[in-house]
Amino acid sequence: MTIRYGVIGTGALGGFYGGMLARAGLEVHFLFRSDFEFVRIHGLRVDSVNGNFHLPEVNAYHTTQQMPVCDVILVCMKTTGNHLLPDLIKPLLHPESVVVLLQNGLGLEEELSAQLPGVQIAGGLAFICSNKVGPGHINHLDYGKLVLGSHNVSNPEILKQVVNDFQSAGIHADLSSDLRFARWQKLVWNIPFNGMTVVLNTTTDSLMANENTRELSRELMLEVIHGANACGVPLKESLAQQMIEMTIKMKPYAPSMKLDYDFGRPMEIEYIYSKPIETARDAGFEMNKVSMLEKQLRFIQGNC
């Protein structure tokens, strides 16, 4: 099976993962906004800990109306723009197309499924340190694992092929049998570190070097784990320590929310904080520390 890929959002994630697929010889079509003219002339550059590469020619488009229909559509844009997704995705669809939401947060697939009835949707979790540092220029700092899971995909073989394609392109990719589990697991890291780096104006290494913020990170992680448990997602408390140890070993990093704040962009508060808080509350558990962090972020967002 040969898959034609479309990438919506060619930034830190779409540029890296889409670029890796294209470098491996797969057919990939990229949507660009502000970078369109630059990439059309200069191509796409990826600086990576695993080896730098430059794609001098890419299939670049300024609108999805100009793109061909695609078998797999990788949505890599920030969730703050998800209200645009139905109109962006529709021109790319054929009856068997699969939309993969490579985004952070909770409730994403359910929301898009309600907006695009009958469309096959999957989710993806990117465990990666990667930033866009210039027009058509991605800097991959660390990690890169990708976990995919079905929301309502009728043919499981296509997701298996997507995983195989990523693996062939040099990406550590896995297929999860429980997308909900995978999304809550990613939130255990995203909730403390995205928010705390903004509120405290710092990076992950500084949070880990200080005993107080390291302990607060652990407390937030445990609260997310308990929230997941209340929702029937069996995360173990030991996951918190595993993620602390992983972050200590990680290169100094400013998560995507910190970069959004630094550059005056809207932060992804709704799906990373508000939706999980609401979902846990509906299950009878209050994530009080997470709720406090959410309110601080709302205050900061309102004063940007």
Mean pLDDT, residues 206-219: 98
Residue 33 is given by DSSP the state S
Q: Give the model's pLDDT for residue 1.
A: 80
At the topology level, CATH places domain 4-177 in Rossmann fold (3.40.50)
Q: Which residue did the predictor score with more confidence, 235 or 303?
A: 235
Can you tell me the mean pLDDT for 142-147? Answer: 94
CATH topology agreement for domains 4-177 and 181-302: no
- Measured CA to CA, the distance from residue 37 to residue 39 in angstroms comes to 6
Q: Give residue 247's pLDDT.
A: 95
Q: Average of pLDDT values for 263-274?
A: 97
Residue range 181-302 in CATH 2.40.50.140: no
Q: Give domain limits for the chain.
A: 4-177, 181-302
Contact 193, 221 (CB under 8 A): no
Confidence of residue 218 (pLDDT cuts 50, 70, 90): very high
* Sequence-separated (6 or more) residues with CB below 8 Å from residue 105: 79, 183, 187, 190, 268, 270, 271, 272, 275, 276
Percent with pLDDT over 90 in the chain: 96
| Residue 228 neighbours by CB under 8 Å, 6+ apart | 184, 185, 187, 188, 234, 235, 280
- Predicted pLDDT of residue 170: 97
Element (H, E) at 76: none
Residue 286: pLDDT over 90:
yes
Question: What pLDDT band is residue 207 in, cutting at 50, 70 and 90?
Answer: very high
At residue 153, the pLDDT reads: 98
Distance of CA 218 to the CA centre of its chain: 22
Alpha-carbon gap, residue 79 to 264, rounded angstroms:
16
**Positions marked catalytic:** 186
Cα–Cα distance measured from residue 44 to residue 273, given in angstroms and rounded to the nearest whole number: 33
Query: What distance in Å separates the CA atoms of residue 106 and residue 68, rounded to the nearest whole number?
Result: 30
State both tokens at 126.
């990117």
Question: Over 80: is that where the pLDDT of 304 sits?
Answer: no
Please say whether the beta carbons of 240 and 225 come within 8 A: yes
Distances (CA, A) of 12 to 9, 200, 291: 9, 23, 28
